[in-house]
Amino acid sequence: MTGRLAEMEARIATVHKLASVISAMRGIAASRAMEARRHVDSIRIFAETIGEAIGHALAEVPEAGRAPAGDGPAGRLALIVIAGEQGFAGAYSERVFDAAAGLLGGAHDLFLAGDRGALVAAEREIKVAWSAPMVGHAAQATALATRLTEAIYRALANGTATRVSIVHAMPGGTQEMQVVTRQIVPFDYRRFPLPAHGVAPRLTLPPETLLARLVEEYVFSELTEAVMLAFAAENEARMRAMIAAHENVTARLDTLVAAARRLRQDEITDEIVELTTGSVPAEEGAERRV
């Protein structure tokens, strides 16, 4: 085997290993995206339960007492952006920041989740007021949502923010991801209808206190859902990137295999020519010796 052919076959073996790694990464991303989708259903059931309780509490609270901290159309914005944590997801984080660009132009404090997002923010010279790593597993979503909830309520209590919005990606399966923007504060009580029956619930807390705590729980559920949806979307983006990478590697592998076959055929041809041209002198020499 010539050096050229040996080098080509070594490259083919390396590309085969790369294809195996890409397939494994695609499988892991698919598994994580499916797991996140299952958790979203549970989070939404929790949110519906809290929402029903808010409806009951609203019936006991005068309308003047329903406005949480930060109510009002104007003021400084606490903008939560949930970007990516790991690589090999294409332009995932860049697209999330593109969707948030309209909100980043006004008075705001950026609350950022995702180390990849921190790189994008640095490249675009966007100041980050608060940051945390994005989750690497679905089980970590509640911990991140808790930290986000505490951070934004601290900003509302300190008066450094009067409004809260969140920007995150949505999983789309085989379709391209979408990025959504949702307002968290001021809290929209119109989403929660008052109970149809006139039976008042038995309360152990003042109605205003109960309502405030329920609102905080609902905001926590919204942030948990956003984190989980973003986690699913990031892994779906990684799946799409790995599918594209696998197609490229397969095409490269086909090219290398074809080139190796040509080299091998050239070697075989050269060996045949050598045998053919080398056999005549050998026979003539034998006759002379006789």
The three-state secondary structure class of 27 is: helix
Q: What pLDDT band is residue 187 in, cutting at 50, 70 and 90? A: very high
How far is residue 218's CA from residue 48's CA, in Å, rounded to a whole number?
Answer: 9
CA distances from 268 to 2, 11, 82, 281 (A): 11, 21, 59, 21
Q: What is the mean pLDDT of residues 214-239?
A: 95
Given a contact cutoff of 8 angstroms between Cβ atoms, the answer to whether 218 and 47 are in contact is: yes
Sequence letter at residue 29 = A
Q: What is the mean pLDDT of residues 155-163?
A: 93
Backbone angles phi, psi at 275, to 5 degrees: -65, -40
Name the most confidently modeled range: 12-16, 30-34, 132-136, 254-258: 132-136
Q: Which residue has the tokens 């050239």?
A: 266
Q: What is the mean pLDDT of residues 175-184?
A: 88
Assigned architecture for domain 24-197+207-243: 3-Layer(aba) Sandwich (3.40)
Q: What is the mean pLDDT of residues 124-144?
A: 95
Sequence letter at residue 80 = I
- Burial class of residue 235 (count of CB atoms within 10 Å of its CB; 0-12, 13-18, 19+): buried
Q: What is the mean pLDDT of residues 212-239?
A: 95
53-77 pLDDT, tens digit each:
998 888 888 764 565 544 444 679 9
The three-state secondary structure class of 203 is: coil
How far is residue 276's CA from residue 274's CA, in Å, rounded to a whole number?
Answer: 5
Extents of the domains making up the chain: 24-197+207-243
Residue with more model confidence, 131 or 246:
131
Given a contact cutoff of 8 angstroms between Cβ atoms, the answer to whether 79 and 108 are in contact is: yes
User: What average pLDDT does the chain have?
Assistant: 87
What does the buried/exposed string (b/e) look like for 206-219 if buried means 16 or more CB atoms within 10 Å of the residue's CB?
ebeebbbebbebbb
pTM flag (> 0.75): yes
Q: What pLDDT band is residue 45 in, cutting at 50, 70 and 90? A: very high
Question: Which of 78-87, 195-204, 206-215 bottoms out in mean pLDDT, i.e. has the lowest?
Answer: 195-204
